[in-house]
A = this chain, B = another copy of it.
């Protein structure tokens, strides 16, 4: 895409993995980036990696003309207050976030009196289990989907600016309604995390001699359970009901299978194994997703 469509001046609020990766991606297009983080060391580290220039004092200390775009790269629960504060200090014309939950933060931002005409929420997919600026790279989003959730209030100019950011990062914009996005993430991302945790929790008291026999299967099933519990608590609290619905379905299938095993009810066991195989087969392989 032409560099002229990339926002020229950005403020990235939150210099973690996602914020720093976005900053690196737009820097590759020659954009100016100001970086802030609640933890000044993280912002300095991101700046040291070439992601931009630290804005000392954060949004409250901003005195320049509004930037083209402010990216709120903070956890879901922190989005509403971050948007309110950034808008109070007029740091940018347009605002977006990167949280993996959309509906509750938007509702909360509305309650806080935020200007939602200037906001288009976003969710770049395909993160990594690591976090922090050191894990960041400009190509993190290349070929990936990036969901955009404009609301009825979102202005067309805001949507165009945020879409340009997505394309500058090499990602594929996917438009979704916020509630639809959250139900989708509950099924394909948030509930799998809890399921991985519930399986991995069985290993807490399993003797070392047995853990040594663990193979790639159990390792894969539980890999995402290694994620940061605080980060995931925030995600889960913000998308509680859709996640709970999926967890109840999984729990029912497991309890039914346990009961069938005890009573030699092979039909129910086979039914679950077949449904699982069919469901797994519906996951596109990474290459196909990237090609699309």
User: Footprint of B on A, CB under 8 Å?
Assistant: 125-127, 145, 147, 174, 184, 187-189, 191-204, 206, 208-227, 229, 232-233, 236-237, 240-241, 243-255, 257-259, 261-262, 264, 266, 269-270, 272-284, 286, 289, 292
Contact = CB atoms under 8 A, between A and B. Distances in A.
Given A210-B187, A217-B224, A272 B201 contact: yes
A282 B203 contact: yes
Contact of A275 (B193, B201, B211): B201
B225 A210 contact: no
A125 B210 CA distance: 12
Contacts of A255: 247-248, 251
Contact of A269 (B191, B202, B221, B237): B237
Given A229-B277, A258-B244, A217 B199 contact: no
Given A200-B276, A250-B199, A269-B237, A194 B283 contact: no
Given A241-B262, A258-B244, A214 B199 contact: no
